[in-house]
């Protein structure tokens, strides 16, 4: 059965049609528009339903295709549709990123063993995964730039989409090497900064999207720009700002926000621990060099 958001069922459209035995051209055109609009709404509803079905079946490539149809409508996505799109691409890209990390680790081990023939085979296989990663990232980045960002009307949705843009350029930068790393790295930084600027004025510090943005931006500074100090500062600032306004946390987003705040604390703790470990190693190295020098001075000449 056809059903539209306006409550105009398909049977009602037909009754209107047959109720006009002498249909003039204006009425006929109007009825055609009603049916066309009804089909369009049904198609969007069906695409969302199929995306949910694909998610339950763990067929994420098909979930992506269904949500791309919704995203290309030129209309602002609902929160549910936005999240479905994000989940679809996150699962598709997540599987490849995990594969890339595993294969890269095996490749490194084979190189260390001197098994160059195997390492060459693995390199070719890794290149295949990187091609898939590039294709997926470019796909969602095109959807974001062509449809979603331009049709975003709220600060929340703009932050969400610019954060996604930063994320997927970051994924491209993860496996890029040499001069090829600069372009996705710069694009990711620009997108994260744009999202942060909007979040700073339109979203409270306790908003889960703003907190998630801060976490991912911090990861970008650490993994892509190799700047643990900036990463730690950003994570700490986001957590401190959220704690200061914890009383503004809505019941609706309480679970999501507090979970991300916990992750921010853990992430910050890891960054601090690593920094302390590096400093201790540097101190031990300097001490070892001094001891070695002293031993040489004591040796008979």
pLDDT in tens, 149-164: 999 999 999 999 999 9
pLDDT band (50, 70, 90) for residue 15:
very low
pLDDT at 2 over 60: no
pLDDT at 14 over 60: no
DSSP secondary structure letter of residue 99: H
pLDDT value of position 35 = 39
pLDDT band (50, 70, 90) for residue 118:
very high
Distance in angstroms (rounded) separating the CA atoms of residues 177 and 111: 18
pLDDT at 12 over 50: no
pLDDT in tens, 251-260: 888 999 999 9
- 141 within 8 A of 191, measured Cβ to Cβ: no
pLDDT at 34 over 90: no
pLDDT at 244 over 90: yes
pLDDT value of position 291 = 60
23/180: higher pLDDT:
180
CB-neighbour burial class of residue 265 (10 A; exposed 0-12, middle 13-18, buried 19+): middle
pLDDT in tens, 56-109: 999 999 999 999 999 998 889 999 999 999 999 999 999 999 999 999 999 999
pLDDT band (50, 70, 90) for residue 10:
very low
Dihedral over alpha carbons 136, 208, 146, 81 (to 10 degrees): 80
Distance in angstroms (rounded) separating the CA atoms of residues 233 and 242: 14
pLDDT value of position 173 = 98
pLDDT value of position 42 = 52
pLDDT at 19 over 90: no
Mean pLDDT of 213-236: 97
Average pLDDT of the residues of the chain: 86
pLDDT at 7 over 50: no
Distance in angstroms (rounded) separating the CA atoms of residues 146 and 133: 20
Q: Which are the contacts of 205, defined by CB distance < 8 A and separation ≥ 6?
A: 211, 238, 241, 242, 244, 245
Mean pLDDT of 114-118: 95
pLDDT in tens, 64-75: 999 999 999 888
Query: Considering only 15-19, 37-41, 179-183, 276-280, which range has the smallest mean pLDDT?
Result: 15-19
Query: Considering only 11-15, 51-55, 222-226, which range has the smallest mean pLDDT?
Result: 11-15
Helices 25-56, 10-19: inter-axial angle, 10-degree rounding: 170
pLDDT value of position 299 = 61
pLDDT value of position 248 = 80
Residue in the block written with tokens 């999207």: 209
């Amino acid at each position: 059965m056809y059903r539209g958001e306006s409550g105009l069922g398909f049977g009602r459209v037909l009754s209107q049609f047959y109720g006009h035995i002498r249909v003039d051209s204006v009425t006929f055109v109007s009825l055609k528009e009603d049916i066309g609009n009804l089909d369009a709404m049904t198609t969007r509803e069906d695409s969302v339903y199929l995306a949910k079905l694909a998610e339950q079946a763990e067929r994420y490539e098909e979930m992506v295709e269904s949500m791309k149809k919704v995203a290309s409508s030129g209309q602002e996505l609902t929160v549910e549709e936005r999240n479905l799109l994000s989940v679809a691409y996150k699962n598709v890209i997540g599987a490849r990123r995990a594969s890339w990390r595993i294969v890269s680790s095996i490749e490194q081990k084979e190189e260390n063993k001197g098994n160059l023939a195997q390492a060459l085979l693995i390199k070719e296989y890794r290149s295949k995964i990187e091609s898939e990663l590039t294709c997926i990232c470019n796909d969602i980045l095109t959807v974001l730039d062509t449809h979603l960002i331009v049709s975003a009307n709220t600060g929340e949705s703009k932050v969400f989409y610019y954060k996604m843009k930063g994320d997927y350029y970051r994924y491209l930068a993860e496996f890029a090497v040499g001069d090829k790393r600069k372009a996705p790295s710069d694009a990711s930084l620009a997108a994260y900064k744009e999202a942060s600027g909007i979040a700073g004025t339109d979203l409270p510090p306790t908003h889960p999207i703003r907190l998630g943005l801060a976490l991912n931006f911090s990861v970008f500074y650490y993994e892509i720009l190799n700047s643990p100090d900036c990463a730690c500062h950003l994570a700490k600032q986001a957590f401190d700002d959220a704690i200061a306004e914890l009383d503004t946390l809505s019941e609706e987003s309480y679970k999501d926000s507090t979970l991300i705040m916990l992750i921010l604390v853990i992430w910050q703790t890891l960054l601090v621990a690593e920094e302390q470990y590096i400093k201790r190693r540097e101190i031990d190295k300097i001490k070892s060099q001094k001891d070695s020098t002293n031993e040489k001075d004591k040796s008979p000449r």
